[in-house]
Chains A and B, each alone.
Chain A
Amino acid sequence: MVSAAAIWKALSAVVDPEIPSVSIVELGIVRSVERSGDQWLVSITPTYSGCPATRVIESDIRDALAQIGGPDIRVVTQLAPPWTTDWIAPEARRKLRETGIAPPQPRGPGPAATIDVVRMRRPDDGPAACPRCGSQHTVMVARFGSTACKAQYRCTECLEPFDYFKPY
């Protein structure tokens, strides 16, 4: 019989369709793998509510598990607690940087529903450094970038534009 460890290993090879340098396990999308009777329950959590990759991820999970003997699985969507970029593994942050995407700053446990709308510009919310040259001097170009989870920034030293994975 296939073990939980083997399932986790197979899931680690499933990459995010929009950010193929990192796996869905590293992104914190896979929440748990548990035995339930004769089945394995694979719990995944959506990143952004409208993320078009969610359906693809589910079918990629089935394909990956078919390759290790196709254990009987059920993919369950788990909404709570909501996904956060704080779950992105350190290794994945390094890989993001290497592919030119600045990793998200820590979001922390702050209450998401309170906001000081006037003084809401949160300077600590931007990228730590340009993923290309390492400079800390960057400016936001647009609040949304190539996907819903990213914002568009520009480095004021090397002048290159880059994606910033927004804290969520």
Chain B
Amino acid sequence: MDDDPQLFDYMLRLADNGIVLAQRLGEWVGKGPALEEDIALTNVGLDLLGQGRMWLAYAREIEARYAPPGRGEDALAFLRDGGEFRNLLLVEQPNGNYADTMARQFLFDQWHLMLLGALAGSKDARIAAIAAKAAKEVRYHLERSADWMIRLGDGTELSHRRAQDAVDALWVYTGEMFSVDAIERGLVAAGVAADAASLRDPWRSAVAAVFDEASLAMPGDGWMQGASGRGGKQGIHTEHLGHMLAEMQIVARSHPGARW
């Protein structure tokens, strides 16, 4: 198809959100505040990694169509540099304290579920199938992260302060989720991609409803990082991604061609 390079890029955007956030959640292994939380974080990460792989497998097939033979799934995950990653800036932000991790998760989950809901109606049958499947898992992620926002925001003075600080600090990265660049515009017109801009209002009301329950204040909308077409989706990242990738990719890069 004529728009294969754009579709490949769009698949990387979806895949990289899953892969990068899964890696971040994996950093909690063995360090969760309680055993149940440790297990929950890594299970959410596992779902996201599985979804990331489904998007990446499709990306690989698309690349092989227009630039044969294309790269393998492992090469796409482990041999791309930071500038070639297409994830949102939000998901690469460091884990911080537990409120930081859960606020990042909640802001993303709420958007992710709405995005997948829209993608389930994609004219591309493969995209629709992956989205419909992933949405089942993300719904559960959202229940959990929204629950945590309420628990922390409506908890002790300390947990409330940390939850509010986390939301305030991450807010600057939320605008990018609703930005639409030329690549997405073309795919939206073709009925393949989801129109991210249309998710903004429903996302805001859903987030506001949880914040209300959690006694958290909605941050004001100021400057939004990456929202003007120069952000994670275009490969321009915060400094955190490179450090994270160094750890994620070192084994594959130190042992080229190794099989496991």
Do A and B pair up? The answer is yes
Q: Which residues of the partner chain A approach B46 to less than 8 Å between Cβ atoms?
A: 48, 50-52, 148
**A50 touching B139 by the CB < 8 A rule?**
no
Q: Which residues of the partner chain A approach B137 to less than 8 Å between Cβ atoms?
A: 48-49
A114 to B135, CA, bound (A): 10
- Secondary structure dominating the interface of B: helix
Q: Which residues of the partner chain B approach A82 to less than 8 Å between Cβ atoms?
A: 129, 132-133, 136
Instruction: Pick from B91-99, B112-120, B159-167, B216-224 the stretch touching chain A.
Output: B112-120
A151 to B39, CA, bound (A): 11
Chain A residues at the B interface, C-beta cutoff of 8 Å: 46, 48-52, 79-84, 111-115, 117-118, 120, 141-145, 148, 152, 166, 168
Q: Which residues of the partner chain B approach A166 to less than 8 Å between Cβ atoms?
A: 140
**B133 touching A49 by the CB < 8 A rule?**
yes
A145 to B38, CA, bound (A): 11
**A118 touching B143 by the CB < 8 A rule?**
no
**B39 touching A142 by the CB < 8 A rule?**
yes
**B209 touching A113 by the CB < 8 A rule?**
no
How near does chain A come to B48, taking the closest CB pair, in angstroms? 7
Q: Does B175 sit within 8 A of A, measured CB to CB?
A: no
Partner of B48, one of A50, A112, A113, A115: A50
Given contacts A50-B51, A113-B120, A166-B140, contact A144 B39 (CB under 8 A): yes
**B146 touching A120 by the CB < 8 A rule?**
yes
A35 to B89, CA, bound (A): 47
Q: Chain B residue with minimal CB distance to A150?
A: B43
Other A-B pairs, 7, CB within 8 Å; known A79-B129, A80-B133 = A49-B47, A50-B50, A50-B51, A80-B128, A81-B132, A115-B142, A117-B146
Q: Which residues of the partner chain A approach B146 to less than 8 Å between Cβ atoms?
A: 117-118, 120
Q: Which residues of the partner chain A approach B54 to less than 8 Å between Cβ atoms?
A: 49, 79
Name the interface size band of chain B. Answer: 35 or more
**B117 touching A114 by the CB < 8 A rule?**
yes
Q: Which residues of the partner chain A approach B39 to less than 8 Å between Cβ atoms?
A: 142, 144-145
Q: Does B74 sit within 8 A of A, measured CB to CB?
A: no
How near does chain B come to A79, taking the closest CB pair, in angstroms? 4
Q: Which residues of the partner chain A approach B128 to less than 8 Å between Cβ atoms?
A: 80
A115 to B259, CA, bound (A): 42
**B51 touching A113 by the CB < 8 A rule?**
no
Q: Does B174 sit within 8 A of A, measured CB to CB?
A: no
Q: Does B125 sit within 8 A of A, measured CB to CB?
A: yes
Q: Does B248 sit within 8 A of A, measured CB to CB?
A: no
How near does chain A come to B131, taking the closest CB pair, in angstroms? 9
A88 to B117, CA, bound (A): 25
**A50 touching B132 by the CB < 8 A rule?**
no
Q: Which residues of the partner chain B approach A81 to less than 8 Å between Cβ atoms?
A: 132
**B47 touching A48 by the CB < 8 A rule?**
yes
Q: Which residues of the partner chain A approach B47 to less than 8 Å between Cβ atoms?
A: 48-50, 148
**B40 touching A80 by the CB < 8 A rule?**
no
**B142 touching A112 by the CB < 8 A rule?**
no
Partner of B36, one of A48, A114, A118, A152: A152
**A51 touching B50 by the CB < 8 A rule?**
yes
Q: Does B20 sit within 8 A of A, measured CB to CB?
A: no
**B36 touching A141 by the CB < 8 A rule?**
yes
Q: Does B81 sit within 8 A of A, measured CB to CB?
A: no
Q: Does B134 sit within 8 A of A, measured CB to CB?
A: yes
9 A-B pairs closest in CB distance? A50-B50, A113-B117, A49-B50, A142-B36, A80-B129, A50-B46, A79-B129, A82-B133, A144-B40
**B116 touching A117 by the CB < 8 A rule?**
no
Q: Does B144 sit within 8 A of A, measured CB to CB?
A: yes
A49 to B53, CA, bound (A): 9
Q: Does B206 sit within 8 A of A, measured CB to CB?
A: yes
Q: Chain B residue with minimal CB distance to A82?
A: B133
